[in-house]
Every structure is written in structure tokens, then in C-alpha cells.
Amino acid sequence: MKVDIGREIQQSAEETAGKIRGLLAARNVFSVNLISSPGSGKTTLIEKAIEALRGRIRIAVVEGDMETDIDAARIRRHGVQVHQINTRSSCHIPPFLLLSALDHLDLDAADLLFVENVGNLVCPAEVPLGEDLRVVALSVAEGDEKPLKYPLVFKTSDLLVITKTDLLPYVKFDTDRVKTAARAVNPRVEVFEVSSYTGSGLSSFLERIEELCRRKIG
């Protein structure tokens, strides 16, 4: 008998993602799966969201890294719930680890859950986490060819955030090329250009996150 291991693994991941989705729906929590290469500014975006939405939206965070709790420690200083997942050799957060991590959070005290995935544009794109919203971040320092080289993550994401735009005068990066390539594989993707350093574009991005969150939590 021939067994398709890859298909079974994917089916198991989708089943677990469904359990996550059901659990978060029951607790009325809106979840965001944040994906990018290492160093694109994911953690900083979460920090800015915590600061901007404090008092309006209760935020909890799951941090995914192969090693260390450096990013979780940063988030913890903001006084919100955070749980660290160390994946060791895995290049993404597996759904079963996220499901386990949710046991360490008081979901009844959260409206919005950020899941900061392991820095990678490939593996996380293939694995569902039961999220309500998938966001891919791309810094201008990474190069403008990424939607062409790694189309799946742009195809499966709802929002594209072009980060570190304050560096545009110093790097070769064509934002129009990125938008065109991203929309070629995903015409519905929403694009935001932001700089966490200057604050440019942040309000529009965070307002959109809040709007989508409130649609679910009421």
C-alpha cells in the first residue's frame, strides 16, 4: 500500500489549524499570522500595535523563533500576554505547537492575537495556523524581487506591509515593482508602506488591523 506522507502531514496540519480556528472563534479572538524574512521588523510592528491600540484592543502575542526568547522579552516589557515557541530545527511554527501555546494564554482577556512566525518566506506560507488574517512583511533592504522569487507567501497573504521605508533613499528598491508582482499573484492583497522609525504609514496599517479585528469581536 502506498502512503502519501506529505499529504497526511498537510491534512494533519489543516485539522489542527481548524481546532485553533474553532478555539479562537469560541473566545472571540481575532488572530494575525505575521510572516517575513528575519530582520524585516515584525516584532517592532507588533510593539507599535500594542502602543497604538492600548486601551482599545487587548493584545496577546505568540513569538516563534528557532532559539532564544529575545523577541518575547521585548514584547513582555509592554505589559501584554506573550508566550514563546522555540521550534529548534523547524523553519515555521507547526500548528500543534501553536495549539499547545494557547493553553498558556488567557484568551478571555484578549481580543487580538499576533502570531509572529519564524523568519522565513517559504515554510510558513505552506502551513495554516487557523488565522483570521495573514500578513507578510517585506523590508526595503531585502530587495524588490521577493514576490517573484517567493510567490506563494504573497499569494496567500491578505496584507503586504513594505517596511523600513525610511531607508528608500539609501537602497535600490522599486515599490511599484513589488506591488505589481504581488498583485499579479494575489489581486486582492492590500499594500501598506510603513516606517516604524519615522511612523510614516503606521496609522493606516494599524487602523486596518483594528477595523478587521472589530468586525469579529464586535
**For residue 4, what pLDDT is reported?**
54
Residue 8 falls within a domain, yes or no? Answer: no
CA atoms within 13 A on the CB side of 67: 1
Is the predicted pLDDT of residue 98 greater than 80, yes or no? yes
What is the reported pLDDT for 6?
54
pLDDT per position as a tens digit, 172-197: 999 999 999 999 999 999 999 999 99
Residue percentage of the chain with pLDDT more than 70:
95
Would you say residue 203 lies in a domain? yes
Has residue 126 been placed in a domain?
yes
What CA–CA distance (Å, rounded) separates 192 from 199? Answer: 12
pTM for the whole structure: 0.93
Q: What is the number of structural domains in the chain?
A: 1
Alpha carbon 68 to chain centroid distance?
Answer: 19
Percentage of residues of the chain with pLDDT beyond 90:
92
Q: Please report the pLDDT score of residue 8 as a whole number.
A: 56
pLDDT at 99 over 50: yes
**Spatial separation of the C-alpha atoms in residues 20 and 25, rounded to whole Å:** 8
Closest to 156 measured CA to CA, from 192, 124, 119, 118: 124
Domain span holding position 150: 15-217
Residue 49 lies in a domain: yes
Please calculate the CA angle 98-152-25 and round it to the nearest 5 degrees.
35
The answer to the question of residue 118 being in a domain is: yes
Q: Is residue 115 part of a domain?
A: yes
Residue 194 sits in a domain whose CATH number is 3.40.50.300
pLDDT at 7: 60
- The pLDDT tens digits of the residues spanning 126-160 come to 999 999 999 999 999 999 999 999 999 999 999 99
193: nearest Cα among 213, 174, 171: 174
User: Looking at the domain assignment, is residue 2 inside a domain?
Assistant: no
9 assigned to some structural domain: no
Average pLDDT over residues 72-98: 95
Q: Give the tens place of pLDDT for each residue, 200-211.
A: 999 999 999 999
